[in-house]
Amino acid sequence: MTTQTDIQTFLDQDQKKDLLRLLTAGSVDDGKSTLIGRLLFDSKKLYEDQLSALERDSKKMGHAGENIDYALLLDGLKAEREQGITIDVAYRYFSTNKRKFIIADTPGHEQYTRNMVTGASTANLAIILIDARKGVITQTRRHTFLVSLLGIQHIVLAVNKMDLVDYSETIFNQICDDYKNFVTRLSIPDIYCIPLSALNGDNVVDDSKFMPWYHGQNLLQYLEEVHVGSDRNFEDFRLPIQNVLRPTLDFRGFSGKVASGIVRKGETVMVMPSRKTSVITSIYGSDGETDYAFPPQAVTLTLADEIDISRGDMLVHPENLPRNERQFEAMLVWMDETKMDPYAQFFIKQTTNTTRARIDHLRYRVDVNTLDHSACEALSLNEIARVAITTNKPLFFDPYHRNHSTGAFILIDPITHNTCAAGMIIDKLNASDLQSRITDPEIKRLIDGGKSLINLSEMEKRYHQKGVTLWITGLHGSGKNMLAYHLERQLFDSGATVVLLDGSTIRSGLTRELDDSPADRAEQMRRVAHISRILNDQGIIVICSFIASEEHLRQQLKEIIGNERFHLIFMDADLDYCRANKPELYEKAEQGLLQYLPGVDEVYEKPENAQLCFKPMAMTENIALTMNYLQQHKIFPLD
C-alpha cells in the first residue's frame, strides 16, 4: 500500500511539472546535437539499449575519435549521419525532478531557415551555440534575428568548445560583449551566457573544474530554473472556436484551445464577429467540469443564451477586444520552393479562421545575415520580408509580440495546398499609409485624368495574360459563335480572365435602338470596339463574334482597340456552307423578308490580313490552333 501511494505521489508530482520548450541553433559543427546528446547522457535520461546503440554507432560512424559521439542521438537521418550535419528538425523529450523539456535541434545551414522557423514557432527559449574559436559570426546573427522575429524572449548564449581555447575567460568575455552589442538592435529581454564544452561535459550538467572563474549556473541548472510562465499572455482572453459539440439535444458546447487570457464560469463573453454577448454557464476541460480555464488548455464552454457560433468565430471579453481588420502588416517567411507570385491569391489560416488573402505590397526584404533592408518584388525560399496583406473577410488578431497564438498565420497555395509562408502580424495597416496615397499629388493627377491607379503591367502580372481582342469575322452560319463560345470555355478552364461579346448580348441592351442598316451596324461595331478597349485596358481578353463585313470598318475597329491588341480571326466558309448551316435566315433574305444580309444583298469583303484563317469543319483543331497562337505570341499564358 505504501509503495502504491509513493508511486501515485510521484505520478501526481510529475504531472504538475511545467514544460519548457527549447531549441538549439548555431552554425554547422558548433556542436548543437553534441550538446543535447551530452545533456541527455549526463542527466542519465538514456535507456540501456540507447547507450549500447550509441557506443556501437560511435565506433562505426562517429566524428569524435575514440570518444562517444553524442550527436548521433539526434542526427537520425542517414544523410545527417553521413555529412555530420542536422537537416531536419529533431525533437527530443526528457524530464528532471524539476521540469519537463522538449528540445528541438534545428539545422544550421542557411538553406534550412524554414526548418528552424518551424522548430522555433513553439519554443520558450533558444540556445544559441557559438564556437569559441570563431566568435560571433554571420549565422549567429541570423539565428538570433530569427529567434527575435519569432518572439522568443529567453536566450542562452552557449559558448562551446572552450577546451579548444584553453578555457580562456578573456575570449569568453569578448564573445559575450560582441553578442550583446549586436542584440541591442533586437527586442530580446533575457540573455544568459554560459561557457562550456559539450564534448567533455563542462558546464552542461556538471560544473567545470577547468573554469573556476565562471560563477554562474551550468546549462541544466539554468534550464530547470528559468522562469517562462510570465511569457504567456494571461490578460487578453481569446478562445478561437474549433468545433460546436451537440452530443444531446440539451447540450450545446463551444470547443477550442484557450489562446490567451483566463476565463471563469459566470463571466460575460462576446462572440466575434457578431458582437453578441452571453454568460458562461459551465467550463469543461480534460478532467471534467472546472471553474476557470487558461492557456493552453483545450476546453468546451456552454453559454446561457442561444447564439449562432461556428468554427472560425472567437470568444473574448467585451471590454478587451482583438483587432478586427482585413488589412494588416506582417513579417513573412517564404517556405515554398516555388518563388512567390506577388499577384496570386492564397488561403490564409489564422487560429481556426480560414479565408482568401493577397499580398498587397512588399515593404522590404530583410537580409537575415546582416539585417539590412532592400526592395524586392517577390520572395524565394527562406527569404523574409515585411508585407502588407488584405484578406477577403476580417480576421480577429493581436500583434504577434503580444499574442503568439492570435498573431501568427500561414499562407496556403489554393491549387497545391502547400504551405507557402508563415507570418507574424505586426499590427493593422497604418492609416497614414492609406492617407498618404489618397493625398499623393501624382495619384490625384491620375484620377483627375481618368486613369487607373493600377498600371497595365500590374494587371498583366495579376492575370498572367495580356489584354487583347480576338475579333472573329465571317458570314452568318460560318461558325463564328461556335468558335467564340468554345474558345471562351477553353480559356476560362485554363485560368484566363475572358469576356465574350456577340450580337445577341449586345443587341439586348447596348445597341437596342439600332437596326441592321449599314450605318447602324457600323455604330454598333464602334461601340463594341470601345468596350473591348476598356476591357483590354483592365488586362482582360475579349472575344468578339461579329461580321464587320467591310475592310475599312475592320480597320476603324483596329484603330479604336489598338493595332497591337486587335487580332483578327477569319472563319472562311463559302455561302453554300453558311446557307446549309442557317437555312431559315438565308431563305428570309432571299424572299425579301430580311435586308442587309452580307453575302446575299450586301457585300462581304474577305479579310486579306487576318492573323488566323480557319475552315469551320475542323472546330477542335481551330480551338487548339488559337490557344497555340496565344501562347506563341505571349498573350496567354504570359510566362
pLDDT tens for 124-151 read: 999 999 999 999 988 888 888 888 988 8
Give, as one character, the DSSP assignment of residue 339.
P
As a whole number, mean pLDDT of residues 216-230 equals 91
Decide if pLDDT at 552 tops 70: yes
pLDDT band of residue 568 (cuts 50, 70, 90) is: very high
Work out the end-to-end distance of the chain between its first and last CA atoms, rounded to an integer number of angstroms.
77
Q: Which three cell numbers stand for residue 424?
A: 507574424
pLDDT, one tens digit per residue, over 576-634 is 999 999 999 999 988 888 888 998 888 999 999 999 999 999 999 999 999 999 999 99
d(CA 291, CA 265): 5
Do 10-231 and 459-632 share a fold? yes
pTM of the model: 0.70
Q: Which three cell numbers stand for residue 520?
A: 447602324
Least confident of 111-125, 153-167, 313-327: 111-125
pLDDT band of residue 39 (cuts 50, 70, 90) is: confident
Residue ranges per structural domain of the chain: 10-231, 238-316, 323-434, 459-632
Q: Which residue has the cell 471553474?
A: 291
Half-sphere exposure of 409 (CA within 13 A, CB side): 30
As a whole number, mean pLDDT of residues 218-234 equals 89
* 271, β-bridge pairs: 315
pLDDT, one tens digit per residue, over 275-284 is 999 999 999 9
State how beta strands 541-545 and 498-502 pair.
parallel
As a whole number, mean pLDDT of residues 356-373 equals 89
CATH of 238-316, one of 3.40.710.10, 2.40.30.10, 3.30.470.20, 3.40.50.300: 2.40.30.10
Measured CA distances, 310 to 240, 352, 401 (Å)? 10, 10, 27
| pLDDT for the residue numbered 87 | 40
**Selected residue with higher pLDDT from 54 and 197:** 197
Q: Which three cell numbers stand for residue 361?
A: 505590397
Decide if pLDDT at 558 tops 70: yes
Give me the phi and psi of 634, to 5 degrees please: 55, 40
Q: Which three cell numbers stand for residue 136?
A: 560571433
Measured CA distances, 546 to 173, 256, 596, 623 (Å)? 83, 59, 14, 18
Neighbours of 492 (CB within 10 A): 13
Decide if pLDDT at 78 tops 70: no
Q: DSSP letters of 474-491? A: --TTSSHHHHHHHHHHHH
Mean pLDDT of the chain: 87
- Percent of the chain past pLDDT 90, that is, above it, reads 58
CB contact at 8 A, 25 and 108: yes
d(CA 628, CA 395): 43
pLDDT, one tens digit per residue, over 42-61 is 777 665 656 666 666 665 66
CB contact at 8 A, 406 and 260: yes
pLDDT, one tens digit per residue, over 175-192 is 999 999 989 888 788 999
| pLDDT for the residue numbered 172 | 97
CB contact at 8 A, 85 and 93: no
Domain 323-434: homologous superfamily in CATH: Translation factors (2.40.30.10)
As a whole number, mean pLDDT of residues 284-299 equals 92
CB contact at 8 A, 77 and 91: no
CB contact at 8 A, 216 and 223: no
pLDDT band of residue 222 (cuts 50, 70, 90) is: very high
CA angle 204, 207, 208 (to 5 degrees): 95
| pLDDT for the residue numbered 139 | 84
Decide if pLDDT at 432 tops 80: no
CB contact at 8 A, 257 and 404: no
Verify cis geometry, omega within 30 degrees of 0, for the bond prior to 195: no
| Three-state SS at 259 | coil
Decide if pLDDT at 11 tops 60: no
As a whole number, mean pLDDT of residues 540-547 equals 96
| pLDDT for the residue numbered 59 | 59
CATH annotation of 10-231: 3.40.50.300
CATH of 459-632, one of 3.40.50.10540, 3.30.420.40, 3.30.830.10, 3.40.50.300: 3.40.50.300
Give start and end residues of each alpha helix (H) in 62-168: 78-83, 113-120, 138-149
Residue 245 CA, chain-centre distance (Å), reads 30
pLDDT band of residue 507 (cuts 50, 70, 90) is: confident
**Selected residue with higher pLDDT from 508 and 86:** 508
CB contact at 8 A, 235 and 400: no
| pLDDT for the residue numbered 15 | 64
d(CA 62, CA 249): 63
Residue 129's nearest CA partner among 215, 31, 236, 260 is 31
pLDDT band of residue 398 (cuts 50, 70, 90) is: very high
